Amino acid sequence: MLLNERKTRHAHLVEVAKQMMTAARTAPKAKGLDIIEVIAVEGEDIKTLSEKTHELGEHTGLKFMFRDAKNVLSAEVVVLIGTHAGLQGLNCAHCGFATCAEKPEQVPCALNSIDVGIAVGSACATAADWRVDSRTMFSVGLAAQKLDWLGGCQTVIAIPISASSKNPFFDRE
């Protein structure tokens, strides 16, 4: 049997995305509380994500949103990692408020955001282990958050992945 890499690439990237999701899930969490959500999107859902990112660019006027909206279309799979809002009850003041009780609801718990960062790092390391190109994009993550694909999560980060002869997520316009 002959396997052509060009014909097996997409299936391989889906498998790598699954490995990345597992790496994010098993990454350390503050106080051991698992409040992150992780999904992967492919196909037409990437186009929807791109359109929402473009729409956010129109709304905010941030030019990099337009670049990222176009760039995410180069991905075959996008891994999304976000966190549910949850107070850790440590009164650590990392969020800028002296106690958890003083923190306004719309301000994310800093520890929740750190948990997402650790999960993202673990997922990106997994992509690198499999020699798959990736890039973290908070802009595309924000679009996924607005689409509510992670069920009310805050601080969503997108990780598009690709396996081509040149990394499409760097040396961008």
Q: What is the DSSP string of 141-158?
A: HHHHHHHTTTSS-EEEEE
Q: Residue 143: what pLDDT?
A: 98
Write the CA distances from 121 to 71, 104, 168, integer angstroms: 21, 28, 20
Q: Say if residue 173's pLDDT is above 70.
A: no
- Would residue 94 count as lying in a domain? yes
Q: Look at 37-41, 105-109, 129-133, 136-140 and tell me which has the smallest mean pLDDT.
A: 105-109
**Does 172 reside within a domain?**
no
pLDDT of residue 128: 97
Could you tell me what percent of the chain has a pLDDT over 70? 99
Q: Which domain holds residue 81?
A: 35-162
In-domain check, residue 103: yes
Residue 8 is assigned to a structural domain of this protein: no
The reply to whether the predicted model has a pTM over 0.85 is yes
Query: Are the CB atoms for 116 and 83 separated by under 8 Å?
Result: yes
Q: Return the pLDDT at 120.
A: 97
Q: Is residue 77 part of a domain?
A: yes
pLDDT above 90 as % of the chain: 71
The pLDDT value recorded for residue 86 is 76
Domain tally, the chain? 1
Confidence at residue 108, expressed as pLDDT on a 0 to 100 scale: 85
Asked if residue 170 belongs to a domain, the reply is no
Q: What is the pLDDT of residues 56-82, one digit of tens each?
A: 999 999 999 999 999 999 999 999 999
Q: How far apart are CA 106 and CA 108, in angstroms?
A: 6
Q: Is 70 left (phi over 0), alpha (psi -120 to 50) or beta?
A: alpha
Tokens of 52: 């929402």
Q: DSSP letter at 4?
A: -
Residue 59 belongs to some domain of the structure: yes
